[in-house]
Amino acid sequence: MSEGFHLGYYRGKKVAKWVARYRPPGKAGGYEKATLGEADDTQDADATGVLDYRQAQDKAREWLKDRQGGPKVKANYTVGDVLDEYIEGFAGKDLVNTKRRIEKFIRPALGHIRMDQLTTDHIEKFQRDRAKTPARLRTAKGADEQKYRTLDTDEDRRKRKASTNRDMTVLKAALNYAFNRRKVPSDSAWRLVKPFKGVEVARLRYLTDDEARRVVNAAGPEFRPIVQASLLTGARWGELRRVCCIDVDLLAGTAWLQETKGAAPRVVYLEAEGVELFRQQMAGRKGDDLVFPGPTGERWNDAQQIRRMTDACTAGSVAPAASFHDLRRTYGARLALRGVPMAIIAEALGHKDERITRKHYAHLAPSHVADMVRSNIAGMGIVQPGAVASLGSKQ
């Protein structure tokens, strides 16, 4: 396209891509390279992710302009530096989980790479490798080696890809943070890397009232109150373990959640049974005392619910074992099954977007379509009534 500046077409096994490369005239060494997008061999061009030849030329010139006239990358400015700055200026909704993904997965793989040498290949390799890495299992303290869950089934592999998508969201957010602050001249290395498709499946696990009662009865005495609280409020583990007595108004029947996943305080509404639970938990405690203290009287930590929930489900004959978050889903499901509007459920659960609520609970709500189908399709007489009933089924 000009001296030292080339537009290329690369045909891989599955897809063809447009690539650009540039080396200033007279400069020794290799080219700077970027993947611009997919070629329009099998699908129509959209000027964003799929490009025809003219669009690829325009994109290449835009990329070169960024390289020549945009901000310059400081020497030895690495992905690790980008991650540090992102954490320091973090304004998202889940700092703890974000830091965990960065420190355990992203930094070890990419932290050493200089930003002026970061390529799409680096990002895609990280994505592929993460999707092939078995999930870690909880391992006892002092154990000689970390245990992993093998990727034997399609479901195992789907979960790893879904988890990889979440890692990639954190990585891209950090890199975009640097790009938007003009620490790097281009986002071409990561902008066109796509997440795995079709791997995000709504979790549909919720407990029947009978299963919920069995889990509560089987839970240990120090763990039982916070299990009851989640079932009666829909609050998350991280939210309930931080609630202090001063946050609860028994007369109004409300509890104020100061630290939430969305970083926006919200209120939960207590009915009579919830008010009684909080009243019992607050008896004799001061305003700044925890409503649901851990076994030592201090705040529960992030992971202390996992083993206790598994044990309670085993003792209560609830299979498959429910997670603590399934208690929150049970609260939402009970509302949906009783015909509560999705907007109200979203507000009660603290969802910022009603689409999240619909994704998880709309199928449980009374449906005009379902009613019409069932009332207008007569049976065919091909199934005889059985004499065996399944115990514990959802009615």
Tens-of-pLDDT digits for all 395 residues of the chain?
Answer: 888 889 999 988 888 999 999 888 777 778 888 899 999 888 888 887 889 998 888 888 888 877 666 666 777 899 999 999 999 998 776 787 899 899 999 999 999 999 988 999 999 999 999 999 887 665 556 666 656 666 668 888 888 899 999 999 999 999 999 988 888 878 888 988 999 998 877 667 899 999 999 999 999 999 999 999 999 999 999 999 999 999 999 999 999 998 887 667 899 999 999 999 999 999 999 999 999 999 999 999 988 999 999 999 999 999 989 999 999 999 999 999 999 999 999 999 998 888 888 888 888 888 767 777 777 776 777 777 777 766 654 54
Instruction: Give alpha helix (H) positions in 145-271.
Output: 154-180, 188-191, 209-218, 224-233, 237-240
The pTM of this model reads: 0.63
Distance CA 294, CA 251 (A): 26
Q: Can you give the pLDDT at residue 70?
A: 60
Q: Can you give the pLDDT at residue 192?
A: 82
Within a 10 A sphere around the Cβ of 204, how many other Cβ atoms? 12
Are 330 and 206 in contact by the 8 Å Cβ rule? The answer is yes
Distance CA 374, CA 389 (A): 22
Which is nearest to 39 in space by CA: 58, 18, 19?
Answer: 18
Residue 6 forms beta bridges with which residues?
21
Give the pair of three-digit tokens for residue 103. Answer: 């420190």
